[in-house]
Chains A and B, each alone.
Chain A
Amino acid sequence: MTSSEALVRVEGLRKLFPLNAGFLRAPTSFIHAVDGLDFAIAPGESLGLVGESGSGKTTTGKLLVRLLDITAGHVFMQFDGQVLDVARLQRSDSKTFRRKVQMIFQDPYESLNPRRTIFDTIAEPLQVQNIGNVLDQQERVAELLNLVGLSPPSTYLFRFPHELSGGQRQRVAIARALVINPAFVIADEPTSMLDVSIRTSIMQLMQNLGTQLGVTYLYITHDLAVARYMSTRLAVMYLGKIVEMGATEEVLQRPQHPYTKALLSAVPVPDPRWTRTPVEIKGGISKPIDPVPRCRFYDRCPLAAKVCEDNDHPPLEDKGSEHYVACYRV
């Protein structure tokens, strides 16, 4: 993929959260939540962003939809030949951006307004964007409810979120995100609150709609098994850095970074006959507060050597066939 083809291009993206800042007092230290990310997403692709809690994957998602301000770096998005610089959006571009980029959140119990009907919830983006009159909007909402499998729409239009189950609410959230034909959807753990039997249908719904409507996804999850099904490429995050990135099956079958290997061997396997290789790393993930300029994974790495301690965090390098790894020892 050349950079002109990419729908989303992220360059050196950083987000620092100040600590101990006060009135007239400068912050003494920073949490480096997202610390220099570079990646691109091609149109129609689904990039899975995986990592443990605290790895910075949700912060990345929020930066891309501008729910958080970007500390440094660039996010470029290209819609219909128009390139937007997300960190420095002009007022006139802001509307395009909001129409083309949508987000689906983890908790369908929290993300829907309990006092608005399903119709109001799904029609709101249309109203904000001034798309169509009331009749058009009603038609569009009904169309979307059919698409997400809530049919007949008339039985859902004027109900409230509390009358729906978790799976149905997540379907409403998906309908709301897709109602204005976005080009890029960021989904932050959209199935992790759902039960297994419901989860599969939501995963398939998102995949089918993605293909059908030509939506590009950034799929954020802690669950590698879910990411395997939902993404064409995977990026593994650790303490604000991408440590490995490549085609999903390539990364899962031939992981190269010691952290990815550990993460994969820690995932329980639904088969009592399977014996996993033991996890080699110890301890838990820490907070990236003013990290020492060396590999973020140094403290827990079974391969750590002098080169890892003496140099800054290793760059993400192509190890062949677009399989990128950030490690001196691979």
Chain B
Amino acid sequence: MSETILRVENLTMHYTTRAGIVSAVDDVSFTLDEGESLGLVGESGCGKTSVANSLLKLLADNAVIKGGQIRFKGTDFVPLSEEEMRPYRWRNISMVFQAAMNSLNPVYRVGDQIIEALETHLGLYSHAQARQRVTELFTMVGLDPALMDQYPHEYSGGMRQRAVIAMALSCNPDLVIADEPTTALDVIVQDALLRQLKTLQEMIGMSMIYISHDIAVIAEVSDRIGVMYAGKLVELASADEIFHHPVHPYTVALMSAFPSVTGPKRELQTLAGEPPNLLYPPSGCRFHPRCPFATEICRQQEPEFKDHGGGHYAACWHPQEVTA
């Protein structure tokens, strides 16, 4: 059993808007082991990106962490100031964002931007050493090192995303958070990038949190999977358990609504209704208005997020016995 490097407990984060308070992340708990890859999956607005941003405390002005702990190697991030957070960002935890074009500055050469990251966070490189390190990084992510003196617009979408990954790996972080890194890419490019990420993760032994709305992509990259719905983590288990023995009715619905090109063509199931407006979250279980198994208790009391055996966590009053 490897060491737990990240322990998130009862994390709650609110956005204050003109219309009221939006509870984007509500009482979310999970752990992450060294070298492990955790997939967070859910639909837009379920709070998966808000969780990621909270971990590094990269929050918008109207966002505030209301409670809980984010323990990274024993240090709780929640009470830390901006100044105290800075050494952890990028050196310990780095992030890959969805829009690669926006993560790169268009007027600087790609290599120079990575050198800047190295100098800011590590500060001990000579220029020649830094270029040597960039060459290493480019090779690692499958980019020709000769491209380091080119500008972002000269890169294709897939190459840019590789450069952003190189930048995220530049300071040898313990944990990389990847937020929809392949969503804007075509499947063939996405496939190459996913393989590269998996190889790198095993090679460096880093931990990874991979966020996506696409359960097929999540299935490919994750050891364990957390399913989010309306700001809540509703189920957390190994990838195999999530796909073959889902417990929460939302996870079941998500699986049976997802089309696949392989295997027999099965009937896709629809899930009635739409996700709730988090300004006015439903009482009790947040999924109850759409849940086919909802009863009185679901409307009144929030189910506890508990272990259903063998580290398979779910928050549901009527856990399903599904074998797929």
Contacts and interface: CB of A to CB of B under 8 A. Distances in A.
Interface of A: 52-53, 165, 167-168, 195-201, 203-204, 222-226, 228-229, 249, 252, 262-274, 279, 281, 284-285
29 contacts: A165-B274, A168-B274, A195-B44, A196-B258, A197-B254, A197-B257, A197-B270, A224-B261, A228-B261, A266-B187, A266-B190, A268-B187, A268-B194, A268-B214, A268-B216, A270-B216, A270-B255, A270-B258, A271-B260, A272-B219, A272-B222, A272-B239, A272-B243, A273-B240, A274-B262, A279-B188, A279-B192, A284-B186, A284-B189
B259 A228 contact: yes
A274 B275 CA distance: 30
Contact of B219 (A223, A268, A285): A268
Nearest to A197: B271
A267 B216 contact: yes
B43 A270 contact: no
A53 B186 contact: yes
Nearest to B290: A197
Given A196-B215, A197-B257, 7 more contacts: A196-B213, A196-B254, A197-B275, A203-B268, A266-B187, A267-B216, A272-B219
Interface in B216-258: 216-217, 219-220, 222, 239-240, 243-244, 253-255, 257-258
B260 A222 contact: no
Interface residues of B, number: 42
Contacts of B258: 196, 225, 270
Contacts of B265: 228-229, 249
Contact of A270 (B194, B240, B260, B274): B260
A270 B270 contact: no
Interface of A is mostly: helix
Contact of A252 (B158, B191, B217, B261): B261
Contacts, number: 117
B199 interface: no
B132 interface: no
B99 to A, nearest CB: 15
A23 B124 CA distance: 55
Contact of B260 (A198, A225, A249, A272): A225
Given A272-B239, A284-B156, A285-B186, A200 B194 contact: no
A310 B240 CA distance: 49
Contacts of A279: 188, 191-192
Contacts of B189: 284
B269 interface: yes
